[in-house]
Amino acid sequence: MAHSSKIFCCFSFLFSTLSIIPLSHQLEQHPLDSLTPIEFIRVQAIVNQSHPTTTNDITFQYIGLNEPDKQALISWLQNHRTTPITAPPPRQAFVIARINHQTHELVVDLLYDNIVSDHIHHGFGYPLLTFEEQNGASQLVFNHAPFLAALNKRGLKVEEVICETFAIGWFGETKQNGRVVKVMCYYLDGTVNLYMRPIEAITVTVDLEAMKITHFRDRLVVPVPKAAGTDYRESEQKEPFGPELKGITVVQPDGPSFIIDGSRVRWANWDFHLSFDARVGPVVSLASIYDTEKQEFRRVMYRGFVSELFVPYMDLTEEWYYRTFFDAGEYGYGLCAVPLEPLRDCPANAVYMGAYVAAQNGMPIEMPNVFCIFERNAGDVMWRHTETMIPPDLITEVRPDMSLVVRMVSTVGNYDYINDWEFKQIGSIKVTVGLTGLLEVRGSKYTHKDQIDEEVYGTLLAENTLGAYHDHFITYHLDLDVDGKVIGRL
Amino acid sequence: MAHSSKIFCCFSFLFSTLSIIPLSHQLEQHPLDSLTPIEFIRVQAIVNQSHPTTTNDITFQYIGLNEPDKQALISWLQNHRTTPITAPPPRQAFVIARINHQTHELVVDLLYDNIVSDHIHHGFGYPLLTFEEQNGASQLVFNHAPFLAALNKRGLKVEEVICETFAIGWFGETKQNGRVVKVMCYYLDGTVNLYMRPIEAITVTVDLEAMKITHFRDRLVVPVPKAAGTDYRESEQKEPFGPELKGITVVQPDGPSFIIDGSRVRWANWDFHLSFDARVGPVVSLASIYDTEKQEFRRVMYRGFVSELFVPYMDLTEEWYYRTFFDAGEYGYGLCAVPLEPLRDCPANAVYMGAYVAAQNGMPIEMPNVFCIFERNAGDVMWRHTETMIPPDLITEVRPDMSLVVRMVSTVGNYDYINDWEFKQIGSIKVTVGLTGLLEVRGSKYTHKDQIDEEVYGTLLAENTLGAYHDHFITYHLDLDVDGKVIGRL
């Protein structure tokens, strides 16, 4: 097996050949729609023209919709229903690009094909990491003699080593560090579960701008946990197996009850807009619910998305202390979305949708099947009552509970986040994040808990394997505007 | 419509003709099995023989299994697997009976057909109310002239009145009140939703032993909220209707994956015993999970059930202050179980089970379809991971989440509790209580919230309708014994 370059997350090696849809065939664009492939290409061209690549070193760290002003959009949507000729709010892209090693925040107008603003960011904080630079950084070790010597010292085969880039956090330094990552490596050799086989005690620091290793230290040799029993693939499991369950599936003989019209989703009494962003993943906008008595839609939420996933580790050792990941802001909750596995990630009645993000060169990348939408029939009851007090009949009225789920899975390294937006007929929106995947573990010299006489910042789970103490904090941006001023369905 | 007698809950007017199953046809009895119909009859006969009904006034307030000693039972179950001739723990019934106006707690042995103990309870607290005495108490008002005058004063038709008996709580009195209930009445006349039409400000106090009204007060006239818009029956709904959803169902072409063997349920890696009790409803015992590596069952929970549902109201008015209901201990969470509606209360793949409780005369009453058992296929994911780091393949492993649900619905007056025990393949048991039905409301003179200038102990929900402040506290008896000493499957 060839040693792998680091792509911290996402299936970027599955890049599809891009098929550009002619504008004329597109449905009417909604002002909150994600950028289209053509728009990504235009944004890239406009930025490149304004900063010619012959004289500039340009990387696109983020391209997404520059969200229109809320009030302007609401006014337009309301007027648009009666006066469809009114111009929509300006269609703009927000771009974060590194141009000659500076972070530019640009707003690009897609009607006039020009740059509306170009601001250089001098403060703390760095843009999203691109796949390409993470890839580049984690490849460097394979040409770094001290690293190869460190592998040799441990008796590890270089072709079984996989490396990742880790954001370094911020600990109150007043001097800016520049764009720096650490590279951490894992070992395969008999398993695909690399996360269970960390190669500990080696620190590799990479300056992303120079794309060079600026610091290397091999502190001590810690045993790499064994491969046996770590492979999670069904095909690799051995007897004894647990009891097999008989088949079970959900059936909708007349098809689904939801309608997907471009980015608009309608189901039961719900209507909402769904888009996708490289940084935050799914964005639900303009969620409204139809009031059958008033015969009008009533606003519930203007815009909602996961704004950040903060994952700090509580380990003070030299190779772990800095691990305080912002999975959205550093790696991209949307960028790390993975293709959903039909019949497993989502039930048989699910419909799948793709999305686009920008590559480092600004060109669109198609991400197939990042969303699934399905009606959830969990066997729950929405409302019921049995009335025993009025003989001779027993009155039993039961309304089964159905809901609509929009799901995305984002795999940030070892962790898989299952992100659900669930719309219920009673008028509530339920947000859920399921956390699964593989536990982040630290290699250790210990093989039994009784040997441990120091703080190891974790729990011994198996020989040489500590489950590392950490938290997952998920924050949401929820702009609720229940019964906000509304004239009909937006 | 004839005026109805009060049966606070339960479908006791659907009493089935009892078909007695010959003992010889029964499966081997488990020591934790609920009492069988024959056992109820034997218990009744033994108690009646010991206190002849010709000289005694006897009512059976509760008959259930006298739970065997835990350690004795576990030892027997362990030995029984190797030495099936060992005698099981004594099979006994626990009986609470009123005999000549005293509360007797009796233990009846079902092997020797004798009374093991007969204790008279002198302390605070009263046994479960029987349907029959609740029925009797709420009928009394219809022959009580001041009550009929009170209806007349309000312009209400007696044939549209439905009455209920309410437990009176305990407020630290040192003198025992005797077995006393209050009777509260509601009005139909154009709706089946009697709970939305309380007839307020009348206090009726009934002594259950004398079966007489001991106190009556008609304090003031409060408007009865109107019937319009309160009927919840699907057949009574008028346009405009909400959007209709297309059909959706769950299908198991090869049948369910669970096996019900008497009271034992086996599904996936789980094995447990299910029984039913008039007071607490479903009882899950001896829940164990199979460890495929150790190739043995591991204990998780010895016994679990809802021990009480406490529903206190926060209303200090004369007719409401006493409402501090113990739904299990006073009305019977099991007694109030209702027949589940196939395809609505439980999905298409559910299997239904009945149960028995004792009537006031001690004879068994069959309660059909009080349980449903089904595999839940909610579209959730048990575990997943996508591995992007090992080209050329993307590894995606997803294990969909299936679980087994045991459901009972208990309707205590206006409230319907949906009681689920959910067994998950990851080894957890999830207990859920869904609260639905009809909100307890208080009649009020107010028709708009701006009129209210006093504490009304509720929220004005509609004209003359206050949603009454209250809580629902649910407590569980959970005797967890994870990995308790076990020799094989119990």
**Angle value at C-alpha A341, between A369 and A308, nearest 5 degrees:** 65
Residues of chain B contacting residue A247, judged by C-beta atoms under 8 Å apart: 252-254
Answer yes or no: do A388 and B9 touch at CB < 8 A: yes
Whether B7 shows a pLDDT value over 90: the answer reads: no
Answer yes or no: do B378 and A379 touch at CB < 8 A: yes
Shortest Cα distance from A82 to chain B (angstroms)? 24
Residue A231's closest chain B neighbor by CA? B397
How confident is the model at residue A241, as a pLDDT?
84
Best of B191, B192, B245 to mutate (most A CBs within 10 Å, chain A): B245
Answer yes or no: do A344 and B409 touch at CB < 8 A: no
Catalytic residue among A271, A277, A315, A327: A327
Active site residue B327: yes
How confident is the model at residue B6, as a pLDDT?
38
Domain boundary among B97, B120, B143: B120
Are both B72 and B176 inside the same structural domain? no
SS3 category, A50 = helix
Residues of chain A contacting residue B246, judged by C-beta atoms under 8 Å apart: 252, 254-257
Domain boundary among A120, A141, A157: A120
Are both B301 and B436 inside the same structural domain? yes
pLDDT tens digits for range B29-83: 999 999 999 999 999 999 999 999 899 999 999 999 999 999 999 999 988 777 7
Mean pLDDT of chain B: 92
pLDDT tens digits for range B441-481: 999 999 999 999 999 999 999 999 999 999 999 999 999 99
Which of B234, B251, B387 faces A397 most closely, judged by CB atoms? B234
CA-based nearest residue to A356, from A278, A273, A261, A265: A278
Catalytic residue among B327, B345, B416, B420: B327
Contacts of B163 (CB under 8 A, 6+ apart): B3, B4, B5, B6, B138, B139, B141, B142, B183, B184, B185, B186
Q: What percent of chain A stands above pLDDT 90?
A: 84
CB atoms within 10 A of CB B24: 5
Q: Is residue B488 part of a domain?
A: no
Answer yes or no: do B388 and A257 touch at CB < 8 A: no
Q: What percent of chain B stands above pLDDT 70?
A: 93
Are both A321 and A441 inside the same structural domain? yes
Q: Is residue B403 part of a domain?
A: yes
Host domain of residue A456? 258-480
Whether B17 shows a pLDDT value over 70: the answer reads: no
Whether B84 shows a pLDDT value over 50: the answer reads: yes
Whether A20 shows a pLDDT value over 60: the answer reads: no
**Of A168-182, A250-264, A326-340, A379-393, where does mean pLDDT reach its minimum?**
A168-182
How confident is the model at residue B20, as a pLDDT?
36
**Angle value at C-alpha B35, between B31 and B38, nearest 5 degrees:** 120
Residue B69, class by beta-carbon neighbours within 10 Å (0-12 exposed, 13-18 middle, 19+ buried)?
exposed
Mean pLDDT within A16-30? 48
Whether A427 shows a pLDDT value over 50: the answer reads: yes
Are both A324 and A439 inside the same structural domain? yes
- Residue A393's pLDDT band (cuts 50, 70, 90): confident
Mean pLDDT within A263-278? 97
SS3 sequence, chain B? CCCECCCCECCHHHCCCCCCCCHHHCCCCCCCCCCCHHHHHHHHHHHHHHCCCCCCCEEEEEEEECCCCHHHHHHHHHHHHHCCCCCCCCCEEEEEEEECCEEEEEEEECCCCEEEEEEEECCCCCCCCCHHHHHHHHHHHHHCHHHHHHHHHHCCCHHHEEEEEEECCCCCCCCCCCCEEEEEEEECCCCCCHHHCEEEEEEEEEECCCCEEEEEEECCCCCCCCCCCCCCCHHHCCCCCCCCCCCCEEECCCCCCCEEECCEEEECCEEEEEEEECCCEEEEEEEEEEECCCCEEEEEEEEEEEEEEEEEECCCCCCCCCCEEEHHHHHCCCCCECCCCECCCECCCCEEEEEEEECCCCCEEEEEEEEEEEEECCCCEEEEEEECCCCCCCEEEEEECCEEEEEEEEEECCEEEEEEEEEECCCCEEEEEEEEECCCEEECCCCCHHHCCCCCCEEEEECCEEEECECCEEEEEEEECCCCCCCCCC
Are both A211 and A263 inside the same structural domain? no
Which of A350, A381, A416 faces B418 most closely, judged by CB atoms? A381
Mean pLDDT within A444-451? 97
Q: Is residue A76 part of a domain?
A: yes
Two structure tokens written together for A446: 């210990």
Are both B49 and B104 inside the same structural domain? yes
Q: Return d(Cα B135, Cα B5) in angstroms, integer.
A: 5
Answer yes or no: do B385 and A341 touch at CB < 8 A: no
Q: Do residues B157 and B197 make contact, with C-beta atoms less than 8 angstroms apart?
A: no
Whether A133 shows a pLDDT value over 90: the answer reads: yes
Shortest Cα distance from A209 to chain B (angstroms)? 23
- Residue A108's pLDDT band (cuts 50, 70, 90): very high
Domain boundary among B63, B95, B120: B120
Q: Which long-range contacts (CB under 8 A, 24 or more apart) does B450-456 make?
A: B455/B316
SS3 category, A37 = helix
Instruction: Tell me the residue type at B129.
Output: L
Q: For the stretch A325-337, what's the b/e string if a residue is b when 16 or more beta carbons lie within 10 angstroms of its beta carbon?
A: bbbbbbbbbbbbb
Best of A389, A418, A420 to mutate (most B CBs within 10 Å, chain B): A389
Residues of chain A contacting residue B416, judged by C-beta atoms under 8 Å apart: 384-386
Residue B382's closest chain A neighbor by CA? A436
Q: How many CB pairs under 8 A join A and B?
A: 255
Which of A350, A399, A436 faces B383 most closely, judged by CB atoms? A436
Q: Is residue A101 part of a domain?
A: yes
- Residue B27's pLDDT band (cuts 50, 70, 90): low
Whether A3 shows a pLDDT value over 80: the answer reads: no
Shortest Cα distance from B246 to chain A (angstroms)? 6
CA-based nearest residue to A63, from A24, A91, A105: A105
Are both B72 and B190 inside the same structural domain? no
Q: Is residue A243 part of a domain?
A: no
Catalytic residue among B62, B186, B195, B415: B415
Q: Is residue B253 part of a domain?
A: no
Q: Return d(Cα A177, Cα A208) in angstroms, integer.
A: 11
Are both B77 and B199 inside the same structural domain? no
Count the domains in chain B.
3
pLDDT tens digits for range B269-316: 999 999 999 999 999 999 999 998 888 999 999 999 999 999 999 999
Active site residue B321: no
Q: Is residue A22 part of a domain?
A: no
Q: Return d(Cα A31, Cα A35) in angstroms, integer.
A: 10
How confident is the model at residue A83, as a pLDDT?
75
Answer yes or no: do B381 and A436 touch at CB < 8 A: yes
Are both B115 and B135 inside the same structural domain? no
pLDDT tens digits for range B155-172: 999 999 999 999 999 998
Q: Residue B357 maps to which CATH number?
A: 2.70.98.20
Residues of chain A contacting residue B244, judged by C-beta atoms under 8 Å apart: 257
Which of B10, B243, B396 faces A388 most closely, judged by CB atoms? B10
Are both B88 and B60 inside the same structural domain? yes
Q: Return d(Cα B41, Cα B205) in angstroms, integer.
A: 34
- Residue A19's pLDDT band (cuts 50, 70, 90): very low
Q: What percent of chain A stands above pLDDT 70?
A: 93
Best of A396, A407, A422, A424 to mutate (most B CBs within 10 Å, chain B): A396
pLDDT tens digits for range A454-467: 999 999 999 999 99
Which of B241, B256, B346 faces A379 most closely, judged by CB atoms? B346
Q: What percent of chain B stands above pLDDT 90?
A: 84
Q: Is residue B309 part of a domain?
A: yes
Mean pLDDT within A282-294? 94
CA-based nearest residue to B330, from B177, B477, B166, B106: B166
Mean pLDDT within B214-233? 97
Are both A333 and A383 inside the same structural domain? yes
- Residue B485's pLDDT band (cuts 50, 70, 90): low
Query: Between these two residues, B144 and A292, which has the higher pLDDT value?
Result: B144
Q: Return d(Cα A61, Cα A115) in angstroms, integer.
A: 17
Shortest Cα distance from B339 to chain A (angstroms)? 9
Residue B226, class by beta-carbon neighbours within 10 Å (0-12 exposed, 13-18 middle, 19+ buried)?
middle
- Residue A299's pLDDT band (cuts 50, 70, 90): very high
Residues of chain A contacting residue B425, judged by C-beta atoms under 8 Å apart: 242
Query: Between these two residues, A14 and A359, which has the higher pLDDT value?
Result: A359
- pTM value? 0.92
pLDDT tens digits for range B329-367: 999 999 999 999 999 999 999 999 999 999 999 999 999
Q: Do residues A104 and A48 make contact, with C-beta atoms less than 8 angstroms apart?
A: no
Answer yes or no: do B4 and A391 touch at CB < 8 A: yes
Catalytic residue among A415, A417, A446, A457: A415
Q: Residue A43 maps to which CATH number?
A: 3.10.450.40
Are both B116 and B137 inside the same structural domain? no
Answer yes or no: do B389 and A249 touch at CB < 8 A: no
SS3 category, A68 = coil
